[in-house]
Copies of this chain bind each other. A is one copy, B any other.
């Protein structure tokens, strides 16, 4: 049976890639209202594909925002466990467009890589599950999978999953499962398969400071009225202390520190800082004093300025005191940090640091709690076994610094999480020239095929 799964997947490689390219050609950017029609098209494409795959139940689930896709394929044995697979079909914006070597929505293979926005995050990783279930059925000769498979693929992940918790709560019964499989993360390296066992949460804010009612001539008024860009620089600069810790009062309250044992395990990973810097295309490390780079991105909360603007940003000079200044800041969260409480801390900090004569507005995005797997659960062991069969080598544990709405799945559905994914840090997700490694997508499909079987044996 082992050979059969792999052989099936190899035989259907071209068909799989052809479907994936069709899907990647749809620019489903959820953060941009101009592309909301495309996000809807993307949902319909996936629904059609899952129907063609054989899922007896396929539905578009509308939200007040953009639709998710739900599919279900019941196990022949009603006593078999139920597995919920989570992914998303929306993608990040593509600017700066001029830095793409090939156009973001014209999927292009170069070597073993497939380039397109969403190739790795997350369409490629959603689609390998469809191939995996077909491979599992082909190998077993059965008409139905050994576990009940549910897929939930949302359309608002890249714009903060604002309606996802609501969707989960409203459909709690139909989504009931024994384990949730998350396929929206990365492995340690192409030759070092690993499973993620925790993710940071996130929340974000757009801060606007308003000064004079119009831009002022800096000759007539400069040096004598508050400058919103100066005030914003002071405010953002004050968000970290000299040890690069976040200086917002209350920010670290309740943080569940990682155990010394876990920090020791992280220290044993074959981490090459120079190689990591090359992947980051950065020239230096930076961060909170007292922590290693991996600890900084996996175990520690952050405040990060994602964008900032104000005043004259065009060609040439313009000697003004600008009327306003704006910044987008996001916060990575760790277990123990409730997004809504962090938002209150940020609001209070911003207001306390707005100088006299300026008006401040804060607009908060959604919040996602951090999450972590139970390392002793049967589901985690089954997933690890499936990946080890596919890759033929030991699978290690990591965490991820990024976040999806995984914590909501764990909280609202009461299901343990396991992460099965094959993205790489160098896939350039969220940046120009995003790609995915095709051989790893096929390993992902193979892992999925074994996963149903391992989970069926493990119970839950």
A residues engaging B (CB < 8 A)? Answer: 30-33, 92-93, 95, 99, 159-160, 186, 200, 202, 204, 211-227, 229-230, 232-234, 236-238, 240, 277, 280-288, 293, 296-297, 300-302, 304-322, 325-328, 330, 332, 355-359, 365, 400-403, 425, 428-433
Contacts and interface: CB of A to CB of B under 8 A. Distances in A.
Contact of A240 (B230, B400, B429): B230
A304 B321 contact: yes
Given A281-B212, A317-B159, A219 B200 contact: yes
A107 to B, nearest CB: 20
28 contacts: A31-B315, A32-B315, A95-B314, A212-B282, A213-B281, A216-B281, A218-B304, A218-B330, A220-B401, A221-B282, A223-B301, A223-B304, A224-B285, A224-B297, A226-B286, A229-B307, A229-B327, A230-B240, A232-B308, A233-B308, A236-B237, A237-B237, A283-B358, A306-B318, A307-B311, A308-B308, A308-B310, A313-B326
A328 B311 contact: yes
Given A212-B281, A219-B402, A222-B304, A92 B297 contact: no
B318 A280 contact: no
Given A307-B310, A400-B219, A431-B215, A317 B284 contact: no
A318 B310 contact: no
Given A218-B306, A236-B229, A287 B223 contact: yes
A222 B297 contact: yes
A279 to B, nearest CB: 9
A31 B316 contact: yes
Contact of A32 (B214, B316, B358): B316
Contacts of A222: 297, 302, 304, 330, 332, 401
Nearest to A283: B357
Contacts of A317: 31, 159-160, 204, 306, 328, 330, 365
Contacts of A217: 402, 429-431
Contact of A214 (B311, B327, B431): B431
Nearest to A225: B282
A220 B319 contact: no
A301 B308 CA distance: 27
A38 B227 CA distance: 32
A430 B320 contact: yes
A434 B216 CA distance: 11
Contacts of A223: 287-288, 296-297, 300-302, 304, 332, 401
Contacts of A428: 214
A247 B94 CA distance: 39
A357 B320 contact: no
A284 B357 contact: yes
A250 B428 CA distance: 44
Given A283-B359, A284-B356, A319-B430, A305 B229 contact: yes
3 tightest A-B CB contacts, nearest first? A219-B402, A284-B357, A31-B316
Contacts of A316: 30-32, 93, 159
A237 B236 CA distance: 9
Given A308-B325, A320-B430, A225 B330 contact: no
Contacts of A213: 281-282
A318 B237 contact: no
Contacts of A229: 236, 305-308, 327
Given A31-B317, A318-B306, A214 B285 contact: no
